[in-house]
Every structure is written in C-alpha cells, then in structure tokens.
Amino acid sequence: MKIEKVIDGHLHIEAFSGEEGYFIDSFEKYRDDIGIRSYNICAIPHIKSGPDSISSAANNIQCAFYKIAHPDVFAHACLEHFGVVIPEKLEEGFDYVTQYKELMEIGFDGIKMLEGKPDYHKRIGKNLLHPELMRFYSEVEKNKTHLVFHVNDPIEFWDPALATPDRIKIGWYYGDGSFATHEELYRQAEAILEKNPNIAITFAHFYFCGEKPEKLQALFDKYPNLNVDITPGTEMYFSFENNHDFYREFFIKNSNRISVGTDGTHPWPARFPIWCMDRLYRFITTDEVNPTFDDKPLTGLKLPDEAAENILYKNFERRVSVNPKPINKAALKAYIDKYLPTITAENTVQEIKKLAQKYLD
C-alpha cells in the first residue's frame, strides 16, 4: 500500500493568509512533501464574529476557489446559520435544502457539519433534530450525498474535576449546565440515523468511541452507510494503544467503515499534517512503535493490504467519488451574489471580490 494513493479526508481553512502564505495553495506543500494523492477541505460553520471573522458562506466560497485553483482536490461545504439559534422557520430562500442544492450545484463533493460539536450545538439552539435540519438530512440521504459530521467531544470535557482555567478559556469545558450532555448529543445523532438509515455519514474523530467500541460496532451493524474517521482526537489513539490486539481485529473487521484525516488547518503550518499523516500511515501499515500524540508510544496495526487500502483511500472514494467534482463557475457566481451581502467582515468581502476578479471574470 503506497502513500501515493492516500486521501486525507479532513482539513480546514480558517483564514486567508498565514505562515504558509495565501490560502489558495495552503495544502500543496503538505501534499508534495508527504506524497499523498489528494485531500478534502471541510468548510466549517464559523462561531467567531468581528472584523476578522469568516462566515460559513465565506468559508464555502474560499473552498470553491481552492477547487478552481486545484481541480484534483475535494471539498465539503457547510450550512450557513447566520450565527443565530435556528428559528422555527427559516427565511425563504435560505432554508437548508435550498442551501444544500446551491452547494451541490457549485460542485462541492459533500457537506461538513460541525453542528454536533457541543459549543456550536449550543449556538444553534441545541437541537440536531430541528424540522428544518430533518428536511435537509432526508434530501441528503435521497441523493446519497456524503456528510462528514462532528458529533460530541471527549467525555472528559464535561468533567468539572478537569475544568482547569486553561481548558475553560479555550472553551473545552461543557459541564456548567448550559451545554447538551455527552449522552444527549449521541441521542440526537442516532435519532437522525434512525430516521434516515441509509444516510452516508462519516462521523469525525471515531465518534469519540475509543473507550466504547461496542457502541460503534452496534451502529455499524445497524447502518450500512455509516463510517467514522480517525482524525485525531488524540484520546482515541491512547485507547487503540491500550487495547492493541482488540483494535487490530476491530480495524480489520470494519475496514470498510474507517477513513483517515489529519485536521490540518490553514493558517497553521503544514508541518502538522505532514507529521500527522506520516504517523497515521505508519500506524495502519507497519508494526513500528513511534512516539505519536502527546509523545506517547503508538504501536502500528500492520493491517493486511486490503484493509489498509480501504482505510487510507478506498472508503473515501466509494463514499464521495474517485475524482472531485468540477466547480460550476456560474453557480459559484450566483452564490457569491446572494451571500456576499450577508458577510459582515469587510476584509473578507474584499478578499472574495479579488478572488472573483481573478477566477470568475
């Protein structure tokens, strides 16, 4: 199993410029250095506000321009909630089914949802089962569109005993009663599966099931198109290491349900995804012991070729496609015309106008 075939299914862009330069080539250094075939940029609904913020629609637009510049790269778009709790009824023309159709028309390869991450979940009103979202999931299921869906976070983040001031400051403490519980987030996500049993979801970060693989196994057994990625989430790797033999069997048995990603994020330096993909590749294909997350040793699973290929690229290709969809420039232009007035950060508006001049005129 050669690294030249690997697809990193989980990267982000969070700014226009940074240490690696302008975002439009942000992951090319990573690809060239490690030698993977392609990667998937996941737009994320943005929580931040203020002059430097990038809205969800703006992040979608960035990803679309990235795909124009690099037609062999995949991207998943996200829904725009305009930073507010989802109202009972969305404004006409901005409902999620309409947004979804616009994004597919532009040429996105799937949809990324961060709505199940506790902080963002709280921001939109703590309900993944909102009727407006339910209509969207059913459309996604019908069209076999791939969703990368972040639901939950490590259970430690609810533990008041671990709520250090640092952790509270970065927003990683959910135990103050204002967030949904770990169990409630699982309940909501699984109600989506119950209602749409054939939906093609990849839950990010192993669905935070490193210590409860039997839960994940039960879901795999029930839902044929359910997948997880092993984007760190460092804590899952400690579980893999502590139960090495069990997990080697688990990965072989479920090799058609697991895929890889690094969470490399522009504007942070490319050395992180380069390092991370190197470690993931060794973990899947060798039995080497390497210092990995938090510098703790991680013993490779040395999976049989077929299982390794499934995890490193074939599952992504089967669920999304072998080659990315091309960008429809007219549809992108229409999306920009419609959403530009909703973007409040002036810098972002100016950057998009420059990109439109360069790539769409």
Q: How far is the CB of 161 from Zn ion (least distance, A)?
A: 27
Tell me how far apart the alpha carbons of residues 7 and 13 are, in angstroms, rounded to a whole number. 17
Query: Assign residue 153 a region: left if phi > 0, alpha if psi is -120 to 50, beta otherwise?
Result: beta
| Choice between 225 and 262, CB closer to Zn ion | 262
Long-range Cβ contact pairs of 62-66 (< 8 A, separation 24 or more): 62/13, 62/16, 62/23, 62/352, 62/355, 63/13, 63/108, 64/106, 64/107, 64/108, 64/327, 64/332, 64/335, 65/24, 65/355, 65/359, 66/13, 66/23, 66/24, 66/26, 66/41
| Choice between 7 and 90, CB closer to Zn ion | 7
Q: How far is the CB of 263 from Zn ion (least distance, A)?
A: 4
Q: How far is the CB of 128 from Zn ion (least distance, A)?
A: 17
By CB under 5 A, which span of 84-92, 97-105, 181-189, 263-271 interacts with Zn ion?
263-271
* E strand or H helix at 241: helix 234-242
Does the footprint of Zn ion cover residue 153 (CB under 5 A)? no
Does the footprint of Zn ion cover residue 229 (CB under 5 A)? no
Q: How far is the CB of 259 from Zn ion (least distance, A)?
A: 13
By CB under 5 A, which span of 62-70, 172-180, 243-251, 259-267 interacts with Zn ion?
259-267
| Choice between 48 and 353, CB closer to Zn ion | 48
Tell me if residue 146 falls in helix, strand or coil.
strand
| Choice between 141 and 263, CB closer to Zn ion | 263
Q: Considering only residues 117-136, where is the footprint of Zn ion by CB under 5 A?
A: none
Closest residue to Zn ion using C-beta atoms: 263
Q: How far is the CB of 46 from Zn ion (least distance, A)?
A: 13
**Which amino acid appears at position 144 of this protein?**
K
Query: Residue for token digits 């992504």?
Result: 316
- Which of 310-328 are b and which e, b meaning 16 or more Cβ less than 10 Å from the residue's Cβ? bbbbbbbbbbbeeebbebe
| Choice between 146 and 248, CB closer to Zn ion | 146
Number of residues that bind Zn ion (CB under 5 A): 1
By CB under 5 A, which span of 61-69, 241-249, 260-268, 352-360 interacts with Zn ion?
260-268
Closest CA to 42 of 78, 96, 18: 78
Query: Assign residue 82 a region: left if phi > 0, alpha if psi is -120 to 50, beta otherwise?
Result: left
Q: How far is the CB of 144 from Zn ion (least distance, A)?
A: 23
Query: Residue for token digits 């006409």?
Result: 92
Q: How far is the CB of 112 from Zn ion (least distance, A)?
A: 8
Does the footprint of Zn ion cover residue 263 (CB under 5 A)? yes
Residue numbers at the binding site for Zn ion (CB under 5 A): 263
